Amino acid sequence: MWEKIKDFASTFFVTGDPLIYGADVAIVLTTFAIIFVLTYYKKWGWLWREWLTTVDHKKIGIMYLIASLLMLFRGGVDALLMRLQLALPEMHFLHSEHYNAIFTTHGTIMILFMAMPMMFALFNIVVPLQIGARDVAYPFLNALSFWLFFFGALLFNISFVIGGSPDSGWLAYPPLSELSHSPGVGQNFYIWGIQISGIGSLATGINFLVTILKMRAPGMKLMDMPMFTWSVLATCILIIFAFPILTVTLGLLFVDRFFGGHFFTMDGGGNPMMYVNLIWMWGHPEVYIVILPAFGIFSEIVSTFSRKKIFGYKSMVFAMMIISVLAFFTWVHHFFTMGAGADVNAFFAVTTMAIAIPTGVKVFNWLFTMFRGRIQLKQPMLWTLAFIPCFAVGGATGVMLAVAPADYQYHNSYFLIAHFHQVLIGGVVFGYLAGIYYWWPKMFGFKLDERLGKWGFWLWNIGFYVCFMPQYALGFMGMTRRVYTYGWDLGWAPLNFTSTVGAFLMGAGFVFQIWQIAYSIKHGERDRTGDPWNGRTLEWSIPSPAPHYNFAVIPQVKGPDAWWEMKKEMQQDGTKKKPVQLKPIHMPKNSGIPFIMSVFWFIAGFGFTFSWVWMAVFGLIGVGICLLARSFQYDTDYYIPVKEIERTEKALGRAV
């Protein structure tokens, strides 16, 4: 019996690596600490009522934000471990299998469990406030999306202490990811972690599309919408068309591994190249899914901190719409070397270069917005200014990669690594960080400290160039991606060492940002006006943080930059806002079902991962029962009485 348990434990838990044992101890201690704190301060009920069951988009946004920062930390540690291993030739810091697992989890976590939730955080916090709505179209579904993401991410992350991490690259190309080459459970964690959170992402896409189309304040036409809302609309369309492909692709890989199918195997007529096509049909739109909202954020910030309306509003909208269509016609550029033929490669080379045109239009529009504006160099604006040159260089190297014949040289080299990190860090990460600094007062009611923020900003920026510029050169020198070590004779040592220094500078930047948050909670400048940046859009017309129901009275919109126009009107009239008749506000009730259903999804995913069919079936039945329970629920909403609204508004310093 004892022997059996020991046997099971030695395969169930990841063993034999001091780094992992350290992580085990840290996880157990943190878990106990959390349980202790919650119990000691009697916070379990509070946690359940205020957070786990909430359907409030603002709270869901904050939970997304916290989760994404944790994932940024995890993915960042992965990156630093890789850079340590590569700092010098013939290092013995990580062995090859461990290195494989780390570059896999780094990529998957950064895209799917860091960038996506950080994006959804901003969707949730900003969009309903920008369009003058009291919540999203489907608040219950919104909560479900978050918890599916959360438990999907959890399932993926526990793989490094239980069962073993996936190690066949962030997109898990077969046949490497097939049972024949990856017999362990790591790949199953990959499939189910992404599958579960992917359902949530798809639901969010539907949710925000309907929210933007149907829940705008009266008078706000599509062409009056703030630019960030437009970018979310474009992103939602991409999500709706791209994510089902991911669901199917991972589903087919699962059929291969679980039922012995032959979709992508080397025998039985399978075709691994089919997988590569399918995964990039999702994967390429996916990079536009994460970059478009960043474009939206920059548009808001440039306009606010230049005291001008955005230059070329219509061309901005058209550019985003064109990008969202073209995004579906470029996927083959990820594998020009597969041998699809000159005509196919030529088509995809041209579409790829074409997508640089609308992107260029946007860059010029941002520059022209700043031209003769009264620019204020606040933190959000700093990140925006850093983004423009960084993204321009990243875009230019992208066009170099798009030249199909030349790509045979660059393919899978460090040149490619440098390129996509430049657009993803310089574009997506800088964009989301800018957005977080910009909307932070709206989320929490205080600004983040400028001095510490500047330290973080410069460390990130200098670190970025020190880390990735050498990698372009390393690519030309012949260094390919995913090598875990290299020889002294190759002459790659100095550039690799420089690159590692840069990575640690970025890590230091992140530490400064966490310090900045901790410092600002106590000392940050409080925002009592609700409009700390002299903003232009509706989210700045209400107190910070926004009350539960957002708008006591739904605003009437007359054109773009609605709040800016209202402020001008109020100045001209010389009067305060006229008193208005309050009405009871219709709100959705909290629900525990999204959380419980996601727990059952987690159980099902865990069961499938270990091929424990009983557990998987139990989980799926639980999911079904939750769905039925929700279907039979009719009492799902309530009204906030006028008195309570009056009380809340007065407490927030608003005369009603």
Partner 1 sequence: MEHAASHHKHHHDDHHDQESLKTLGFWIFLVTDCILFGTLFATYVVLRTNTAGGPVGKEIFDVAGFVAETFILLTSSFTSGLAVLAMHKGKIKELITWLIVTALLGLAFIGLEINEFYHMVMEGATISTSAFLSAFFTLVGTHGLHVSFGLIWMIAIMIQLGRHGINPVTSRKVYNICLYWHFLDVVWIFLFTVVYLMGVM
> Which distant-in-sequence residues (6+ apart) come within 8 Å of 429 by Cβ?
115
243 binds partner 1 (CB under 8 A): yes
Contact pick of 116, 127, 196, 202 for partner 1 (by CB under 8 A): 202
Check if the beta carbon of residue 242 is closer than 8 Å to that of residue 205.
no
CB 209 to partner 1: min, Å = 6
> How far is the C-alpha of 513 from the C-alpha of 630, rounded, in Å?
41
- Helix, strand, coil: what percent of the chain each, to 5? 70, 0, 25
The structure tokens listed for 360 are 């260029």
For partner 1, how many residues bind (rule: CB under 8 A)?
46
- CA-CA-CA-CA dihedral for 607, 22, 100, 182, to nearest 10: -30
Of 261, 373, 555, 592, the one binding partner 1 (CB under 8 A) is 261
Kindly state whether residue 278 participates in binding partner 1, applying the rule CB under 8 A.
Answer: yes
From 76-84, 205-213, 352-360, 391-399, give the range in contact with partner 1 by CB under 8 A. 205-213
Least Å distance, CB 245 to partner 1, is 5
Which C-beta is closer to partner 1: that of 69 or that of 279?
279
Smaller CB separation from partner 1, 274 or 354: 274
269 forms part of the interface with partner 1 (CB under 8 A)? yes
Distances (CA, A) of 1 to 4, 5, 8, 481, 612: 5, 6, 11, 46, 20
Beta-carbon contacts of 468 under 8 Å, excluding residues fewer than 6 positions away, are 418, 421, 422, 425, 499, 502
Given 91, 98, 262, 481, the residue binding partner 1 (CB under 8 A): 262
Query: Minimum CB separation from partner 1 for residue 275, in Å?
Result: 10
Question: What is the C-alpha separation between 377 and 384, in angstroms, rounded?
Answer: 10
Q: Judged by CB under 8 A, which of 101, 110, 137, 212 binds partner 1?
A: 137
Residues 265 and 271: their CA atoms lie apart, in Å, by 6
Q: Which stretch binds partner 1 (CB under 8 A): 74-82, 416-424, 525-533, 638-646?
A: 638-646
Instruction: Evaluate whether 104 touches 79 at the Cβ level (below 8 Å).
Output: no
Number of H helices, E strands in the chain: 23, 2
Beta bridge partners of 588: 637
Determine if 274 is a binding residue for partner 1 (CB under 8 A): yes
Smallest separation (angstroms) from partner 1 to the CB of 233: 13
- Which 3 state secondary structure label does DSSP give 546? coil
Residues 539 to 598 in contact with partner 1, rule: CB under 8 A:
583-584, 586
Q: Does 621 sit near partner 1 (CB under 8 A)?
A: no
Binding of partner 1 by 487 (CB under 8 A)? no
Q: Candidates 67-75, 209-217, 335-343, 367-375: pick the segment binding partner 1 (CB under 8 A).
A: 209-217
**Computed from CA positions of residues 415, 417, 419, 425, in that sequence, does the dihedral angle turn out positive or negative?**
negative
Single residue of 44, 46, 488, 639 touching partner 1 by CB under 8 A? 639
Amino acid letter at 620? Answer: L
Task: Confirm or reject binding of residue 213 to partner 1 (CB under 8 A).
Answer: yes
**CB closer to partner 1, 12 vs 258:** 258
Residue 229 near residue 256, CB atoms below 8 Å:
no
Q: Which is nearer to partner 1, 473 or 625 (CB)?
A: 625
Tell me the closest approach of the beta carbon of residue 238 to partner 1, in angstroms. 12
CB of 137 to partner 1, least distance (A): 5
Instruction: Supply the minimum distance, in Å, between the C-beta of residue 295 and partner 1.
Output: 23
- Measured CA to CA, the distance from residue 486 to residue 290 in angstroms comes to 33
Per CB under 8 A, the list member of 209, 234, 276, 459 interacting with partner 1 is 209
Please enumerate in sequence order all residues whose Cβ is within 8 A of that of 134, keeping only pairs 6 or more positions apart, or say none. Answer: 128, 549, 550, 551, 554, 585, 586, 587
Spatial separation of the C-alpha atoms in residues 307 and 367, rounded to whole Å: 13
Question: Should residue 191 be labelled a site residue for partner 1 when binding is judged by CB under 8 A?
Answer: no
Q: Is 641 in the site for partner 1 (CB under 8 A)?
A: yes
Cβ distance to partner 1 smaller for residue 573 or 637: 637
Torsion of CA 407, 409, 411, 412, to 10 degrees: -160
Q: Per CB under 8 A, which region of 13-21, 104-112, 179-187, 259-267 contacts partner 1?
A: 259-267
Query: Is residue 260 close enough to count as binding partner 1 by CB under 8 A?
Result: yes
Distances (CA, A) of 66 to 28, 71, 117, 146: 20, 9, 9, 12
**In the complex, which residues of this chain contact partner 1 (CB under 8 A)?**
137-138, 202, 206-207, 209-210, 213-214, 240-241, 243-245, 247-249, 251-252, 255-256, 259-263, 265, 267-271, 274, 278, 583-584, 586, 624, 628, 631-632, 634, 637-639, 641
